[in-house]
Structure 1
Amino acid sequence: MLTPIALGALAVVLAGPLPSVLARWSRLRLTPAAAMLLWQSTAAAAVLAALGAGLSLATDRLWVPPVAVADLVVAALAGAVTLVVTGRLLLSGHLTGTALRRVRRSHRERVDLVARMEQGVSVLDSELPVAYCVPGMAGSRIVVSRSALDRLGPAELEAVLEHERSHLRARHDLVLEAFTVLHRAFPRWVASRAARAEVEVLVEVLADRAAVRHGDRRALLGALVTLAGTATPAGALGSAGSLAARVSVLRDERRHRAQAAAVVALAVAFLALPTVLVVLPWLSGLRTG
């Protein structure tokens, strides 16, 4: 009986309080790949714990005979809760994915109508300096305004374009979508917005790192300042978000191998804990049976 309670409590902690604590650990951004793994493992562990709590309660009541009527009722309720959690995840995934793809498809169509293609980039006649990408399975778009082209130098423009290409190559849109699905699937009193907000910062930091590997750090910093304050359309990934956090990370050129290793180990531990709690009771039951 202790295992379902432990898994339920773990699911609540992993979905709400823990993300709020991790979001305050700003040094995590200095190792963005490891940090992203940590956030993903935390989210996966929360789902596993939530589903495992219901399943373990049901099997705990039905595993060892004799099975009383009360055991059947508890097992049925636990199974129903598990189905509700699964249904909420599936429904949230469907609604979120459908809405995002509709918005992106509409935006791509509008861009194709009003923009000019120049060297594989959609150029908008706009006085605002903007640069963003619109992901899509049927064809992505990198959009840059004429004002941005006029204000950015060649090295700065290349850094911005590489930033957007990195978003598209790494499919950062799917990462953000997954965290949006999880946030909407869990009840409001459990789910934390901190995870989605921090992952938004991390995908930008990861794209910045990719741009720096192919270009000049100072050029990217200059481009970020030029593009600062401009909004990114819904469903798109832009170059102007989370400026303060990204500038702080870009200015740090040190390697943080020890932190990266520690964060990866923490990610493995977070995912291993609910896995062990789910699997061990079943293995124990098989041995005794």
Structure 2
Amino acid sequence: MDLNGVSAVVSGGASGLGEATARELAANGVKVVVADLNEDKGKALADELGGVFVKTDVSDPAQVETAVQAAVDTGAPLRIIVNSAGIGWAERTVNRDGSPHSLETYTKVIQVNLIGTFNLMRIGAAAIAKTEPADADGLRGVVINTASIAALEGQTGQLAYSASKGGIVGMTLPAARDLAAIGVRVNTVCPGIIDTPIYGEGEAAEAFKAKLYAPVPFPKRMGKPSEFAHLVRSLIENDYMNGETVRFDGGIRFQPK
């Protein structure tokens, strides 16, 4: 699919993987709606890219509707939805002190990561369905969801996170089959250890990151957000990629902990 002249909604677009994706798309002619809770970073990025910022809690249908409508209102046909908003959490099913995993936090992670992804996918796809086909195949748009290799190889304490990301992987193929009728492709990316601002800066942070990427076969480093964004762009542009879950991890395989 040709990126130039279309619009996109990128959730979690103010930082990390979402920011890198927003930059990659904008650099290739896409009008980007940065959908994020961080107003300062989101507005600054949208202004820099010539896009639009919408404060968005992805688990809130009304806020997602507003973000999607903002893309429609740009006048460029909405053809791209990128779900990269998410939160993490570490807690054992039964903690060391004998207490059970918090149901509140488990529910929150599922609500944001899984239900939030579905929320933007369903509302975004419904808006994409109203556009004219972009090519002779009847393609109208593409949805890219972000899961994690934790969905496939969850470690100790990743119960809620792995369940949320596993749900995203699980709905990829059914969603692709459902949305085929309206000409929308769906693919999911499962990143591994990616160098985002969440790890901080300084010697201690670098030492911690070195431990994280030690099991990566090659290249012996963390992945770059720009590399993730390049993959997202490739999945959008390659018209025969549909219903797939793609690992993006340098070949790492998670150990139990």
Choose 1 or 2 for highest CA Rg. 1
Pick the TM interval, shorter chain: under 0.3
Q: Which has the higher contact order (CA 8 A, sep 6+)?
A: 1
For normalisation by structure 1, the TM-score amounts to 0.25
For normalisation by structure 2, the TM-score amounts to 0.27
Q: Which has the higher helix share?
A: 1
Q: Which has the higher strand share?
A: 2
